[in-house]
Amino acid sequence: MTAALAWAMVSCTALSVLVVGGTLPLLRRHSVVDIPADRSLHVVPTPRGGGLGVVAAVLGAVVLVTLLRPDAVEGHVDELFLVLLPVLGFGLVGFADDLWSLSVRLRLVVQAVLALVWSLSAMGVTGDGVVWVPFVLIGTIAMVNITNFMDGVNGLVSGHAVVAGLWYAVAGVHYDVPAVAVLGIGAAAGGLGFLPFNLPRAKVFLGDIGSYALGATWAVVASWLVMLPVPTEVALAPLFVLVLDAGVTLVRRMSHGDRVFEPHRLHVYQRVARAGWSHATVAGIVAAATAVACLLALPAMLGASRPTRGLVLVADVLLGLAYLALPGLVGGSARWGAARGAVDLDVRAVDDVLPPPPADPVP
């Protein structure tokens, strides 16, 4: 199984490179382009949809491992294609959004339907009770959107995918869950193949197809591991930084009465990037913090005692606090108050160029 995964990593990385490179001219020709807005961290119109390479890599990994090691996945083929379907489904929705800019309401409805189908299907295969359905459903929708929210700096989501995917591949081998191992290696290969096109200068963005597919991958493999059950630290470790950044930012915005569905630049990674740190530095910090979170989960994977796992939990809290403290370390415009003030100025600047509403007719 390990040799097949290694071959899949190499082959599917090459496949991702070929698909991204091959589709880039098509994306330009058909104007599938991300136009910078007042809340963007980019200033140059850039093609989006490079996540096609990620989807191709995940699909390729499932097919390749099934062909190379049919004995290793014997009895698990149904599981392999079961976990693949939500990744393809969410990727398709993301690509439709890249092409036609779907409304928020329509996206959420389709996401909810896909997540419900996945939840019920997973229960049917694992034999778990329906009590899991709402948790898996909400977790899937949340993870897809969190990954999308975090896709605002070159290399961040794709670099994270390399670390997270490799961790899930290791976990899948360790716990003998081929579906998790193959999906993890496919996501890692897809992210690695996409990186040269996005870092340090973005020739193409992942687009919603990439962030939705990766978010669905993390939701599927994490929920699958938790339901086995595998220690929670092992299942959720690669998602720690993404969920922390998005979760804390959401709570802070809600406490200020913001419209949480509107775009913004208040995530930790956005604030430090706007304050002057390069995209490569910010993406590297997220990848490194994710790797540390995974290393801290190793004791749980190896069967450590409860006191040891308690100490690891303290270390996780310290890691999270260190990440959240980054804007304070940078100072200036990276601090929450200054960043919110800049957002308010952006909104006023947009309002200034809009024509005033028509006056009420005089009776």
Enumerate residue ranges in the chain where pLDDT < 70: 38-39, 73, 75, 124-129, 342-363
User: How much is the pLDDT for 125?
Assistant: 67
Would 359 be classed as within a structural domain?
A: no
Domain that holds residue 142: 2-349
The residue assigned the tokens 């913090």 is: 289
Q: What's the pLDDT score for residue 362?
A: 40
Q: Is residue 24 part of a domain?
A: yes
At 238-280, the pLDDT tens digits run 999 999 999 999 999 999 888 887 888 899 999 999 999 999 9
pLDDT of residue 127: 66
What pLDDT score was predicted for residue 349?
Answer: 34
- What pLDDT does residue 75 have? 67
Is 90 within the bounds of a domain?
yes
For residue 207, the one-letter residue type is: G
Mean pLDDT of the chain: 89
pLDDT at 354: 35
The reply to whether 14 falls in a domain is yes
Q: Does 106 fall in a domain?
A: yes
Distances, alpha carbon 135 to alpha carbons 120, 171, 190, in Å: 11, 22, 28
How many CB atoms are closer than 10 A to CB 336? 15
Q: How far is CA 347 from CA 55, 65, 225, 249, 342, in A?
A: 36, 50, 43, 19, 9
**HSE-up of 149 (CA within 13 Å, CB side)?**
26
What is the Cα–Cα distance from 120 to 136, expressed in whole angstroms? Answer: 9
User: Would you say residue 362 lies in a domain?
Assistant: no
Q: Is 354 domain-assigned?
A: no
Give the global pTM. Answer: 0.91
Beta-carbon count within 10 A of 313 CB: 13
Say what the pLDDT of residue 48 is: 95
Residue 270 lies in a domain: yes
- Count of domains for the chain: 1
Residue 343's pLDDT is what? Answer: 54
